[in-house]
Structure 1
Amino acid sequence: MTRRAPQEPTRDFKPSHRLRDDAAFYAPSLGCGGCPDFKTCGGLHTHAGVFDCNDFCSCEDRAACDSVCRNKPDQFFERYLEIGGFELEPTPRVAALETPALPSVIPLIGHKYSRQSVLNEPVVAVPLYELFHMGSGQPHVRTRAELAERFRIPETATVVASGVDRDVKLEAWWAFADRELIMSTLRDLRIALVTVPNFSLFLNVPRSDNLHSIKRIALGWAELMAAGIPAALHLNARTDQDYTRWMRFVQERSEVEIVAFEFRTGAGVPSRIDWHVDRLCQIADVAGRPLTLVVRGGAQVLRRLKRHFGQVILIETDAFARTLKRRRAEFTESGRLRWPRISTPKGAPIDDLLAHNIVTKRTALQLSDFAPTADSERSARNARRSAQHADGQTRQGSFLAELDATLEARAVPANLERVIVAAET
């Protein structure tokens, strides 16, 4: 049996969806009322039957545990002070910043490997953590020319930096000591928009760890905005209370004009995605102004989100990822997108394949998720297609009628004992 790492909880709550919080279905945990963080946290409402979130503190080696937990008083106090408490209200106020007009679909370009030419796309997204060395915090690129060369994109391209990535990179970003160097580099690179690092809110950790991550998201957003770098506030949440706090934060701060969300992991599972979408739409409805939402994943809910947000922007990752796996996007006869594998010579560049996949994927999204189907388009799409060999007829003729005409002309014998006739449709 594989042993858990000493810093991970030893208690298992399987299936994991028992830890999802839903105040509409489950009673509050009995031990939450006396917690000093209850007013901020709101308590837990889960199917797991935990007394309070301290039930998640079960690490074999607390010295190796990196969760923000009150059972490690010294470390907890240090982590608590670094963010100035769990409340969002003390987050510094900043001025609103103007952002350039962005299209509804922006392709993510992860790197330049296996490519030789410049990608002809006027607006692209790149990983925020590919701009800096994750160990030292030193910039990989310092000028627009170096940025263009690193990703093989036009030097004049509008660039969005996406802060969604693995936790190890997010934590490295938070630990960078020279913050002014980070901010000045992003300004020099003229990054059009940064989506704030989406610090994780795990289900099987004490709530203090979640509250710490939420506050870091708010502080990270304020830091970028104060430095003159347009930023999208990432609305990461685990409970209804978390969303209520974000709702109040957005409503009270008119400088929040762009928010972000990531559907590609836990929030995007079919049994949970509607719960998150409902609350995102509520935030947009009470904001009192049009909000722009930048998302990764969640193509199936984009139409619904568009009805509540002023603009929904998708950072599209499929085209780049599938190109690396040598898959080519193509439409089927029914209008669906498929990705068959293709063969390429060893060492051959994939520039043309990437360009094709970006255009095709964007077209598919614009025809479906971003453009509600008109009645005329729906009728045309559902209309019966004429047969390929119908001799110019608008529909395939009856087989029996054709057979009768043939028999009358005596083109075939009239003995039908060995003929199997299909039913007319």
Structure 2
Amino acid sequence: MNERPPHEPSRQFREPQSLWDDPNRHTQSLGCSTCLERDRCGGVHADAGIFDCRDLCTCADKSKCDMVCHFNPSLFVARMREVGGLDFDTAPRTAANGVPTLPLIVPFVDHRYGRAAVLDEPVVALSLYEFVNFATAKLHVRTRAELSARFLISETAQVLVSGVDKDGPIERWWDYKDRELLLTSLNQLGITLTTTPNYSLLTDVPRTDNLHAMKRILLAWTEMASAGLATALHINGRTEHDYLRWGDFIAERSEIEILAFEFASGCGWGERIDWHVTQLCGLANRVDRPLAIVIRGGGRKLEDLRQHFAQVTLIETEAFARTIRRRRAYLTEAGRLKWAKYPTPPGAPIDELFAHNVSLVRTSRETRLHATIRSRPLPRRPGCAAHRNGEAVQPRFVNEFHLAREARRVAQSRRAWSPLRNRGSPA
């Protein structure tokens, strides 16, 4: 195996789940009690056998560590200055921009390649980073007509701009010094909603790196909201304390009305998706006002989220991804969504295939959601016993007391006539 560069962690955890934070199962790491960031961090509760999160910095040359890490003091100070410290309270206030009405399912369109016709959808989702020319730091489009031509969408369609992407594009977005101008131009295009970049919260890095990423997400939200864009705050959390901290802050900032979350990567794994959904629902319950949420991935959790959020919207990416790989959606007799190979002639447009996949995926999602609602058990009412004046089947406490007393009387009478008690003592 090739050795990692000196600025990257060298320790590998064979079981990444051992780094999942769970205060209900694991005690706090010993080194957390004296940490200056404990109030913001909440401590580490993992099964990885670490003294504190600084053990997760295993760079061969710690002075070259490129994480937000105390072992590289000069870089650490610079990263603190760029976000104004790790406290949420230093983020500026903004005006509320309202919550647009969005459908449950919004198809994602990544590009126009392979297509020739306009996608006839009233609401579509596009990537924030497909708007920006990274070479010139300007938008690729200036008008709705240019936007429609670039992505082959209707000029009248509502556009949801998603900030979710890999680390490369979102880091380049942060490096732009004139983001305010880009966001102003974006607002002039009549964008319906934007979601902030999803700066990563990794489990195998010091917690200061996580806290820095959370602060960057918040600052990105304030920049977008200040430009007049209706913006969803992307909630990234590694620990239960992270979600509690987000919830307390959102409760204080009434201008935050929409959240965003991404389940397509690590947050959607196995049992971890249930943990994140539980945290999101708990956050919504703690905030004393209605919240909307926009998610990518995690479609099977739509009904759980709809019980706690006023509006839930899924950015549906599978239809586009399957289409460009020439797959056609179909439903089985049991109503399950499946994909079949669908080769097309070289150079043939895939517009019909894309429109079909978008429609069928939406139908499948909505049908499953309605089936879940119909199958939800109704609350059971206590039955009534016959000839008991409508009294419940379960006796009242007084009746139970009388029955117990009668049982003792029967036991005493049985002992009174027991043959063993009437026989004489053995000789």
TM-score of the two chains, using structure 2 as the length reference: 0.86
Is residue 2:21 matched to residue 1:21?
A: yes
The CA RMSD over aligned residues, in Å, is 1.4
- The equivalent residue for 2:383 is none
Kindly state the Cα deviation for residue 65 of structure 1 after the two structures are TM-superposed.
Answer: 3.4
Unaligned stretches of 5+ residues in structure 1: 377-425
Hey, what does 1:303 align to over in structure 2? 303
CA contact (8 A) 2:104 2:313 kept: yes
**1:271 Cα deviation from its structure 2 partner:** 2.1
Give the structure 1 partner of residue 121 of structure 2. 121
* 2:352 equivalent in structure 1: 352
* Cα distance between partner residues in 2 of 1:192 and 1:10: 44
- Does the CA contact (< 8 Å) of 1:302 and 1:370 recur in 2? no
Deviations 1:319-376 (A, max 9, x none): 0000001000111111111100112101110000000000000000011136634369
- 2:39 is matched with 39
Asked if the contact 1:110–1:127 (Cα under 8 Å) also holds between the matched residues in 2, the reply is: yes
Paired position in structure 2 for 1:288? 288
**SS of the residue 2:312 aligns to:** strand
What does residue 230 of structure 2 align with?
230
Q: How does 1:305-324 map to 2 (within 5 A)?
A: 305-324=305-324
Residues 19 and 46 in structure 1, CA contact (< 8 A), matched pair in contact too: yes
Shift of 1:204: 0.8
Asked if 2 retains the 8 angstrom alpha-carbon contact of 1:135 and 1:172, the reply is no
Change (3 A) 1:130 1:63: farther
Supply the distance in 2 between the matched residues of 1:44 and 1:375 (Cα, whole angstroms). Answer: 40
Asked if 1 retains the 8 angstrom alpha-carbon contact of 2:160 and 2:193, the reply is: yes
Residues 71 and 65 of structure 1, relative CA distance in 2, 3 Å threshold: closer
Distance 1:273 1:74, change over 3 A: same
The question of whether the paired residues in 1 share the 8 Å contact of 2:63 and 2:71 is answered with no
Equivalent residues in 2 for 1:204-353 (5 A)?
204-353=204-353
CA distance in 2, matches of 1:123, 1:199: 26
User: Which residue is 1:383 aligned to?
Assistant: none
> Which 10-residue stretch deviates more, 351-360 or 97-106?
97-106
Structure 2 unmatched runs, 5+: 377-427
Counterpart for residue 70 of structure 2: 70
How many residue pairs are counted as aligned between the two chains?
376
Contact 1:299 1:369 in 2 (8 A): no
Tell me whether 19-28 or 63-72 shows the greater mean CA deviation.
63-72
Deviation at 1:134, TM superposition (A): 3.0
Give the whole-Å Cα distance in 2 for the aligned partners of 1:155 and 1:311: 25
Asked if structure 1 preserves the Cα contact closer than 8 Å seen for 2:99 and 2:258, the reply is no
**Given that residues 98 and 257 in structure 2 are in contact (C-alpha distance below 8 angstroms), is that contact kept between their aligned partners in structure 1?**
no
Asked whether the equivalents of residues 328 and 357 of structure 1 are also in contact (C-alpha less than 8 Å), the reply is yes
| 1:37–1:311 Cα change, 3 Å | same
Deviation at 1:135, TM superposition (A): 4.3
Measure, in 1, the Cα distance between the counterparts of 2:112 and 2:76. 42
Q: Which residue of 2 aligns with 1:183?
A: 183
More helix by share: 2
- What SS does the aligned partner of 2:256 have? coil
Rounded to whole Å, the distance in 2 between the matches of 1:103 and 1:157 is 13
- Shift of the 18–259 alpha-carbon distance from structure 1 to 2, 3 Å rule, reads same
94-103 vs 221-230, which moves further:
94-103
Q: Deviations over 1:154-199 (max 9, x none)?
A: 1111000001100111110111111222111111111111111010
Matched AA of 1:206: P
Over residues 373-404 of structure 1, what are the superposed CA-to-partner deviations in whole Å (9 max), with x where a residue is unaligned?
A: 4369xxxxxxxxxxxxxxxxxxxxxxxxxxxx
Based on CA coordinates, which of the two structures has the bigger radius of gyration?
Answer: 2
Change (3 A) 1:111 1:25: same
1:236-292 Cα shifts (integer Å, max 9, x gaps): 000111111101011111111100111111111112111111110011111111111
Task: For 2:202 and 2:32, locate their aligned partners in 1 and report how far apart those are by CA, in whole Å.
Answer: 18
Q: Percent identity?
A: 50
Paired with 1:373 and 1:259, the residues of 2 have a C-alpha distance of 24
**Which secondary structure state, in structure 2, belongs to the residue aligned with residue 328 of structure 1?**
strand
The letter of the residue matching 2:298 is G
Larger deviation, residues 79-88 vs 59-68? 59-68
Aligned positions of 1:372-411 closer than 5 A: 372-374=372-374
When the two structures are superposed, what TM-score results if normalisation uses the length of structure 1? 0.86
